[in-house]
Amino acid sequence: MKTYTEYLTIHTSELREIRAITEDVKAALKKCELTDGIVSVCALHANAAVTLGLNEPNFFADFWAWLDGLAPAREDYKLGRGFESNPATVLQSILAGAQTTLSFTEGRLDLGPWQELLYVEIDGQRPKRVALKFLGL
């Protein structure tokens, strides 16, 4: 088994933004020279996430509505006392998923026809990092 690690730095212009990063992961897969294995994709921030979904504006709207319904912004969160982050964004990051793992076969990511790897910025407008850890042959 071999490993390869790469970090993406993502800059967003909006506080909340969803961006497809599938092509970035594909480019890293080519560089790592592995053909079969898995890649772990991990958002390295408490208010960001990575997930699989559709790269489509209506999906994004539904996704935000789902997150806001489950973890709405409120004043009574205990985390809000003494921390820089908005507690709702941290909870939404947990719901959306800080990490996902994909397999790859013969040098190609194993994705369904409509699946995209998505970076979910929940409290942005500053650079954030995503770790890519490849393990394979």
118 vs 11, 19, 136, CA distance in Å? Answer: 14, 6, 23
Q: How many CA atoms lie within 13 A of 130 on its CB side?
A: 31
Cα 114 to Cα 55: distance, rounded to the nearest angstrom: 8
CA 31, CA 23: separation in Å to the nearest integer? 13
Cβ neighbours of residue 27 closer than 8 Å, sequence gap 6 or more:
none
CB 11 within 8 A of CB 119: no
Q: Could you give the C-alpha distances from 130 to 8, 62, 94, in angstroms and in order?
A: 5, 24, 15
- 75 pairs with which residues across the strands? none
- Summarised one tens digit per residue, pLDDT across range 22-74 is 999 999 999 999 999 999 999 999 999 999 999 999 999 999 999 999 999 88
All structural domains of the chain: 2-136 (2.60.120.460)
Q: What is the pLDDT of residues 64-113, one digit of tens each?
A: 999 999 999 888 888 766 666 688 999 999 999 999 999 999 999 999 99
Tokens 């970090």 belong to residue: 7
